[in-house]
Structure 1
Amino acid sequence: MRRQKSGQGRIRIGYLSFADWKDASKAKWHLLDLSKDYHGAPQIFYFRPHKKWYLVYQLEDKTRGIPYGPCYSTTDNIADPTSWTTPAPFYKRKPEGRPAGLDFWIICDDEMAHLFFTSLDGRMWRASTDISDFPDMFEQPKVVLRGDVFEASHTYRLRGLDKYVTLIEAQGKSGGRGHRYYKAYIADRLDGEWKELAASANKPFAGSINVRLAEPRWTDSFSHGELLRAGHDERLEVDPANLRFIFQGLADEHWGQ
């Protein structure tokens, strides 16, 4: 979230809890001020081997000498927004010869923890580490998908199908600005080949062509979306028979406001 008036325009992370989605608008917002510099694009999961909650995000902290990149905080009590630890980087140094990347995302199988991210140039990257070494010892990132994609890749395990799906934000053309929509790719393994599932503007995973909105129409773009999970641990499982997608939107007339 960006707070222009009280937050000097800095991007930070909002935090709220509610029992039912119909109560979301009434929930109290907390601001996670984990750094005096930029931090955003959060992901949360419960890492069973450590019996801790992990918050993954991108951050730059000049006061602590942390360059822009993927970081994490942990807590034993997700209900307490003040309990998160100070940011720690996944990489002590930026990997040489690799882009900075953004929208970092962790998902685990039985043996490995995988860090996915995009680089705003049609590439999705992956780095991995033994699950026993997590959150340390990540290898050099490698390109695992190329296509007309932009940012915000979010990857899940399809419960009961022994497959994985990754959703990636793409942008079309609209008067010099891109309508955002989501593509989907599928793989048998997290370290396997990603194949197109719904990966075009005419056949998106989620876009203006296949999403029915409540009137009056409030968005022309579908951005930074996540599937609601069937669990909360590091496997990031979703129920393929009950997919629910939460996203941020923006109408064309509100660009730049």
Structure 2
Amino acid sequence: MPDAAETPDPADAFDPADAFDPAEVPLPERFAWTSSGPLLSPHPDEAHDIVSIKDPTVIRHNDEWQVYATVANTDGEWSLAHTSFADWSGADEAEQYFLDTNPAIGGRYAAAPQVFYFEPQDLWYMVFQTGPPAYSTTTDPSRPETWTEPRLFFEEEPPIVTENKGEGGWLDFWTICDATDCYLFFSDGNGHMYRSQTTVAEFPEGFDDTAIVLEDADRFRLFEASNVYRLGDSGGYLMIVEALAVESDWRRYFRAWTSDSLDGEWTPLADSEAEPFARSHNVSFADGQPAWTQDFSHGELLRDGVDQMLTVNPCDLTYLYQGLDPAAEGEYSQLPWRLGLLTLDNPVC
């Protein structure tokens, strides 16, 4: 049985019998965070001249944090890496395994992983982009060499994506399930968030009914890197999407919405530059250290468990994100992304 993260039971913090009301969401109206310093940096070797580690997914399994992430090399090629460690204090000393050495994955383009345990099949899934959304499976996510050859969720791009993506492309795929259905959320880099749906019984086959669930006239305000989570036992869900601060400094930050169901409408929670989910002006740095980043970009909340429900404890939110030296510049693939942790300072529980 997979391990769960050692966090308080969210059912202790609020009554699960209460109906979910977005106006009474078990989250603060305004968010305040404290960031660690950089905890994970790229570890190049003779065969992998990588310059960044980014887009992390994280689970607690075998009494260790298992982190999968995107890495980019000096030629601008993207692939995946894995590392594991018992405590965050030892994260950067842990060995990193590059998944291009897994024969089933190989040297193909791969990026933006998400790992979860699909309980109905007693199987672990890694969802990631290879262009189209793909998945691999394993019985043990602590052994990255065991992931299977990737398979695609779709035979072709859904027409609604083709019609709306403009010069963008579908990316940053995210899977979450409720008791009966599984949903695949993703972006197009052109101001649209999409959702496709299948049943738990059919998963990973059968994704259909692709629909736009959020859109913005400015594509940079609804850009990429979406996460969706179940908020404890509240009956509600949280969606986080990365944006660029088009009204000011163009730094990356997160907006957030809530919904009472995965196929429902999304209500703004913290969706502006002035009142964001996470941005430079609502993040302080631990022990008074200087801000090592002004960008808060693609990551994942530490989950209260590991299964396909993607439950988080709203009373104890911690977010693993990618940050960047504010002085860094140049081609995107060559930016020196590092990973750090945000901890919520003002939970309402």
Normalising by structure 1, we get a TM-score of 0.91
What per-residue deviation string (whole Å, max 9, x for no partner) do you get for residues 207-232 of structure 1? 00101124222111100021110000
Per-residue deviation, 1:170: 0.6
Q: Is the 8 A contact 2:160 2:211 kept in 1?
A: no
Quick one: which amino acid aligns to residue 76 of structure 2?
A: G
Per-residue deviation, 1:21: 1.3
Counterpart secondary structure, 1:22: helix
Counterpart secondary structure, 2:253: strand
Which moved further from structure 2: 44-53 or 118-127? 118-127
Q: Indicate yes or no: 2:107 matched with 1:28.
A: no
Per-residue deviation, 1:174: 8.2
Q: Is the 8 A contact 1:16 1:27 kept in 2?
A: yes
Counterpart pick for 1:110 among 175, 179, 183:
179
- Residue 149 to residue 184, structure 1, CA distance change in 2 (3 Å): same
Larger RCO (alpha carbons 8 Å, 6+ apart): 2
Q: Is the 8 A contact 1:10 1:37 kept in 2?
A: no
After the TM superposition, which residues 156-171 of structure 1 pair with which residues of structure 2 at under 5 Å, given as runs?
A: 156-171=229-244
After the TM superposition, which residues 223-242 of structure 1 pair with which residues of structure 2 at under 5 Å, given as runs?
A: 223-242=297-316
Q: Indicate yes or no: 2:319 matched with 1:245.
A: yes
Q: Is the 8 A contact 2:126 2:135 kept in 1?
A: yes
Which moved further from structure 2: 125-134 or 98-107? 98-107
Per-residue deviation, 1:250: 1.6
- Higher fraction of helix: 2
Question: What is the rounded CA distance, in whole Å, between the counterparts of 1:167 and 1:223 in structure 2?
Answer: 11
Per-residue deviation, 1:97: 4.2
Question: What is the rounded CA distance, in whole Å, between the counterparts of 2:82 and 2:213 in structure 1?
Answer: 32
After the TM superposition, which residues 3-42 of structure 1 pair with which residues of structure 2 at under 5 Å, given as runs?
A: 3-4=73-74, 8-33=75-100, 34-42=105-113
Counterpart secondary structure, 2:161: coil
**Counterpart of 1:190?**
262
Question: What is the rounded CA distance, in whole Å, between the counterparts of 2:328 and 2:290 in structure 1?
Answer: 15
Gaps spanning 5+ residues in structure 2: where? 1-70, 163-168, 336-349
**Counterpart of 2:293?**
219
Counterpart secondary structure, 2:127: strand
Which moved further from structure 2: 48-57 or 35-44? 35-44
- Residue 251 to residue 146, structure 1, CA distance change in 2 (3 Å): same
Question: What is the rounded CA distance, in whole Å, between the counterparts of 1:47 and 1:204 in structure 2?
Answer: 32
Q: Indicate yes or no: 2:156 matched with 1:93.
A: yes
Q: Is the 8 A contact 1:74 1:85 kept in 2?
A: yes
Question: What is the rounded CA distance, in whole Å, between the counterparts of 1:203 and 1:97 in structure 2?
Answer: 31
What per-residue deviation string (whole Å, max 9, x for no partner) do you get for residues 35-83 of structure 1? 4331100000000011010000000xxxxxxxx2100000011121100
Quick one: which amino acid aligns to residue 241 of structure 1?
A: C
Q: Is the 8 A contact 2:160 2:210 kept in 1?
A: no
Quick one: which amino acid aligns to residue 248 of structure 1?
A: Q
Q: Indicate yes or no: 2:198 matched with 1:129.
A: yes
Quick one: which amino acid aligns to residue 114 of structure 1?
A: Y
Counterpart pick for 2:115 among 21, 36, 44:
44
Q: Is the 8 A contact 2:223 2:243 kept in 1?
A: yes
Question: What is the rounded CA distance, in whole Å, between the counterparts of 1:203 and 1:142 in structure 2?
Answer: 28
Q: Report % sequence identity.
A: 42
Moved over 6 A (4+): none
Question: What is the rounded CA distance, in whole Å, between the counterparts of 2:108 and 2:144 in structure 1?
Answer: 19
Quick one: which amino acid aligns to residue 36 of structure 1?
A: G
Per-residue deviation, 1:161: 1.0
What per-residue deviation string (whole Å, max 9, x for no partner) do you get for residues 7-56 of structure 1? x4311111011111111111110011124331100000000011010000
What per-residue deviation string (whole Å, max 9, x for no partner) do you get for residues 190-218 of structure 1? 00000000110011110001011242221
Q: Is the 8 A contact 2:185 2:193 kept in 1?
A: yes
Question: What is the rounded CA distance, in whole Å, between the counterparts of 1:94 and 1:146 in structure 2?
Answer: 19
Q: Is the 8 A contact 1:154 1:226 kept in 2?
A: yes
Q: Is the 8 A contact 2:300 2:321 kept in 1?
A: yes
Per-residue deviation, 1:119: 1.0
Counterpart pick for 1:119 among 188, 194, 203:
188
Normalising by structure 2, we get a TM-score of 0.68
RMSD across aligned positions (CA):
1.5
Quick one: which amino acid aligns to residue 94 of structure 1?
A: E
**Counterpart of 2:228?**
155
Question: What is the rounded CA distance, in whole Å, between the counterparts of 2:95 and 2:274 in structure 1?
Answer: 39
